[in-house]
Amino acid sequence: MPRTSKDYMPRPDGAFDAWATHYLAAIETWWLAHGLDGNDLKPLQIAAAEWHKAYPAHVAAQAAAEAARQAKDAARAALQEQVRPITNFVQAYPKTTDADRATIGITVRDTRKTPSPTPTSRPLLTVNPAQRLTHELRLVDETSPTRRGKPRGVDRAEVYVALTAPGSPAPADPGSFRYIGSVTRGETSMDFEASKGGMQAHYIARWVAARGGVGPWSDTASATVAA
């Protein structure tokens, strides 16, 4: 397809350079063949000469810049390789103080332990009583009931149970519940003796932070122990 008046000059510099060289020679031949005044081509020839000086200089400068960048990167890597063992020695030296580290410009280790926040949300408990003398419990957080993860900063959930006669309500006082274990993965199971079959099991739970802070109690989840 022939080029239009807008796109006949190539965009990439290398292609343009080759095209311009051919163009100037072809134009000069055409101009002479038609007996036209060669002085009219002087501005074109001057511009072409400037281009043919500027373009190679640009290419050489780019190559020099790339070589300089590679040399810079290599020098930095070599310096960093020497810095690391010295820094490791300074960090481990018994008399090095945090003030020394700050002055040198190396890491000042933070030895303070940030306490985990006390949980503010509650677990949601569901009980599956499908198996005989066994309850399967699942715990999620009330703020994200469709996800199985614990809240941020929470280490585990403490689970408690209270047994009552069939049809009896759950105890109102959490102190009446017995601790049965901690859950870290959101699921656990509770096995009962045969003598407990038919009784009502009531469960409550609370989140416990990694540093020991405890959150509020969950609502009670209840199910019959299948005999």
Burial 49-70 (b: 16+ CB within 10 A, else e): eebeeeeeeeeeeeeeeeeeee
Q: Is residue 160 exposed (0-12), middle (13-18) or buried (19+ Cβ within 10 Å)?
A: buried
pLDDT tens digits for the chain (227 residues)?
455 555 799 999 999 999 999 999 999 999 999 999 999 999 999 999 999 999 999 999 999 999 999 999 999 999 999 999 999 999 999 999 999 999 999 999 877 666 678 999 999 999 999 889 999 999 999 999 988 888 988 999 999 999 999 989 999 999 999 999 999 988 999 999 999 999 999 999 999 998 889 999 999 999 999 98
Q: What is the C-alpha separation between 9 and 12, in angstroms, rounded? A: 9
- Quote the pLDDT of residue 6: 58
- Quote the pLDDT of residue 2: 52
CA 145 from chain centre, in angstroms, equals 24
Q: Tell me if 202 sits within 8 A of 190, measured CB to CB.
A: no
Q: What is the C-alpha separation between 218 and 89, in angstroms, rounded? A: 52
- Quote the pLDDT of residue 210: 84
Using one digit for the tens of pLDDT, what is the confidence trace for 131-178? 899 999 999 999 999 888 889 889 999 999 999 999 899 999 999 999
C-alpha distances out from residue 92 to 82, 89, 107, 108, 113, Å: 16, 5, 12, 12, 21
User: Using the 8-state DSSP alphabet, how is residue 166 labeled?
Assistant: T
Evaluated on CA atoms 136, 152, 141, 145, the torsion sign reads: negative
Q: What is the C-alpha separation between 80 and 58, in angstroms, rounded? A: 33
Q: Tell me if 185 sits within 8 A of 220, measured CB to CB.
A: no
Q: Which two tokens stand for residue 154?
A: 């929470």
Of 150, 132, 212, the residue nearest 187 (C-alpha)? 150
List the strands of the sheet with 221-224, edge to edge. Answer: 178-183, 154-164, 200-209, 221-224
